[in-house]
Amino acid sequence: MQMEKDQGSEVWQARIGHELAAELRSDAELLGLSGRTEIVKAGLAMLHRHAAEERMARGVAEFYGGAEPPLPLTVADDDGPAASRSRRKRANGRG
């Protein structure tokens, strides 16, 4: 991948095959993206979000040291939504 700096921005380039390029043009049309720049920016933004989610997940795993993290109070478990609401009320001192 080639990177060139230019006054506060960088150019990132990668050579891809014709088949993938055709698929990406079709994807771009479906998503309302116009041109290679918008396609590449959208892909890089998605990659960045995925990496941020992975960093967060690893941080949670490290914090809990391999133990199962607790579910948020608003998430229903095997007991169903009513049990979840009851736990939430107890946690808020209303039940």
Q: Tell me, yes or no, whether 50 and 75 share the same domain.
A: no
Number of domains in the chain: 2
Higher pLDDT, 80 or 13: 13
Q: Tell me, yes or no, whether 28 and 54 share the same domain.
A: yes
Q: Tell me, yes or no, whether 74 and 59 share the same domain.
A: no
Q: Tell me, yes or no, whether 20 and 56 share the same domain.
A: yes
Q: How far is CA 82 from CA 5, 15, 22, 47, 77, in A?
A: 56, 54, 50, 38, 10
Residues 6+ apart with CB under 8 A from 63: 69
pTM of the model: 0.62
Domain that holds residue 7: 2-64
CA separation for the pair 26, 74 (Å, rounded): 40
Task: Find out whether 51 and 44 touch, Cβ atoms under 8 Å.
Answer: no
Q: Report whether pLDDT(89) > 90.
A: no
Q: Tell me, yes or no, whether 14 and 28 share the same domain.
A: yes
> What is the chain's mean pLDDT, rounded?
85
Summarize pLDDT for 29-75 with one digit per residue, the tens.
Answer: 999 999 999 999 999 999 999 999 999 999 999 999 989 888 888 88
